[in-house]
């Protein structure tokens, strides 16, 4: 029968269309820390410095970026790492959460700072948030968010006046970073 001989060809052709339409590679193949690093010029937070890895020497694809308002009153620091798999990302996330609960002064702040739990952003697969227990001499606090979505692990810190939770800025920063993930 002619139909039986055409069936395998039609199946192969259908599979080819599915592979082309859906992509045959890993959805994470094109995700890079640099590609996830957003711009915040519209929030008066231009990029001040950016480098691969920064304080991290993990050998993973990572990017650290520092943004500052023109008057220096608000700053945002982001550290983005793209792990090789979910297990490695889970380990990175856990390590960040533990270490940032009471960070050494030289890590981010340049001064001793005690952190307390803060309301998390509820983004990604996992997330944890801290805020400095006391404002500094300029009445600023630092909000630290650690979150993970599959293979991407992000640490963001927002420095700003001790007015509320800086929730809108923290949310915007997180959403723009995660916007590039699959």
Whole-angstrom distance, CA of residue 97 vs CA of residue 158 = 16
pLDDT band at 12 (very low <50, low <70, confident <90, very high): very low
* Of 176, 130, 136, 125, residue with least CA distance to 160: 136
Q: Which domains does the chain have, with CATH numbers?
A: 28-178 (3.40.1000.70)
Mean pLDDT of the chain: 80
47-91 pLDDT, tens digit each? 999 988 655 556 789 999 999 999 988 999 999 999 999 999 999
On whether the CB atoms of residues 128 and 97 are closer than 8 A, the answer is: yes
Can you name the residues that pair with 40 across neighbouring β-strands? 45
Read off the pTM: 0.81
- Give the C-alpha distances (Å, rounded to integers) separating 170 from 81, 147, 174: 18, 12, 6
- What are the E-state strand segments in the chain? 47-51, 61-68, 75-82, 115-117, 126-132, 140-149, 152-161
φ, ψ dihedrals at 77, nearest 5°: -115, 130
On whether the CB atoms of residues 91 and 99 are closer than 8 A, the answer is: no
């Amino acid at each position: 029968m002619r139909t039986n001989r055409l069936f395998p060809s039609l199946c192969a052709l259908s599979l080819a269309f599915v592979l082309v339409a859906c992509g045959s590679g890993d959805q994470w193949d094109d995700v890079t820390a640099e590609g996830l690093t957003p711009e915040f010029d519209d929030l008066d937070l231009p990029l001040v410095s950016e480098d691969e890895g920064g304080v991290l020497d993990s050998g993973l694809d990572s990017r650290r970026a520092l943004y500052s308002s023109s008057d220096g009153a608000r700053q945002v620091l982001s550290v983005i790492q793209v792990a090789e798999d979910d297990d490695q990302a889970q380990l990175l996330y856990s390590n960040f959460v533990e270490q940032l609960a009471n960070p050494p002064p030289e890590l981010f702040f340049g001064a001793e700072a005690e952190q307390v739990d803060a309301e998390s952003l509820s983004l990604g697969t996992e997330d944890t948030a801290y805020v400095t227990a006391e404002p500094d001499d300029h009445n600023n606090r630092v909000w630290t968010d650690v979150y993970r979505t599959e293979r991407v692990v992000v640490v963001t810190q927002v420095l700003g006046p001790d007015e509320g939770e800086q929730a809108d800025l923290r949310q915007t920063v997180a959403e723009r970073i995660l916007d590039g993930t699959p």
